Amino acid sequence: MTEPVRLSKRMSELGLCSRREADEWIERGWVRVDGIIVSELGSKVLPHQRITVERQAAAQQAKRVTVLINKPVGYVSGQAEDGYKPAVTLITADTRWKEDRAPTEFHPSQLRSLVPAGRLDIDSVGLLVLTQDGRIAKQLIGDDTSIEKEYLVRVQYSKPGRLPDADLKRLNHGLSLDGKKLLPAKVRWLNDDQLSFVLREGKKRQIRRMCEAVGLKVLGLKRVRIGRVMLGDLPPGQWRYLRPDEQF
């Protein structure tokens, strides 16, 4: 017999919302199980039971914004640390990209519950996603995500000559970090000192540690793509909204 699971967990598994959103909707009486409103937190359901949400929940979710920033060096992705500012402090009316064509109007209330969906190191630059939408966060950083992230990486080889082809193959599929084998990557030379990395995971300082393992020193790292969403011409330190027609 299948074990019951928490309603909020099941809603997240179905891609309806994040667990936090689910708990909020349950408390507000916006969730039905087999047509009956369930408003008690911690309620459990069986996998075959039908879960629906009221229109108010969908309307609230539609108002949630997702922001794309071209993060410069010196900003942390999440909470402030060691005196460094978080990337969310870059989001003001003045720093919105003038060419942003999204119809959304900026309001400071959008900064509430705006969290990074993935991270960029303090000394890395490029595309960073901040979102209020639990579905997007789960899509980008959930355990089962398969969304590619592409980086341009400027490197310096610590030995004479060029990186051997065998080591390039190891970067593609053959390295382990912290005792765990990495997922296959797509790594190729763009020119004499720049590599393209395409990853489907994001361990802490992963690219820098991968490069160290084959004798490469990273001089610069820039994320240029997450799934189908490109950094494009977004200037450093500026931001824009994810448009309704864009999907990762």
pLDDT tens, N- to C-terminus, the chain (248 residues): 578 999 999 998 888 887 888 998 999 999 999 999 999 999 999 999 999 999 888 777 767 899 999 999 999 998 877 788 999 999 999 999 999 999 888 988 888 888 899 889 999 999 999 998 888 888 888 767 789 999 999 999 999 989 999 999 999 998 999 999 999 999 999 999 999 999 998 888 999 999 999 999 999 999 999 999 999 999 999 999 999 889 99
The full set of domains in the chain, from first to last, is: 5-62 (3.10.290.10), 66-144+229-241 (3.30.70.580), 149-226 (3.30.70.1560)
Active site residue 192: no
Asked if 51 and 7 touch (Cβ cutoff 8 Å), the reply is yes
Catalytic-role residue among 34, 121, 167, 233: 121
Q: Which residue has the tokens 């899509």?
A: 139
> Can you list the positions of beta strands (E) in 61-165?
66-71, 75-76, 85-86, 115-116, 125-131, 149-157
| Other CB atoms within 10 Å distance of the CB of residue 167 | 19
The model's pTM: 0.78
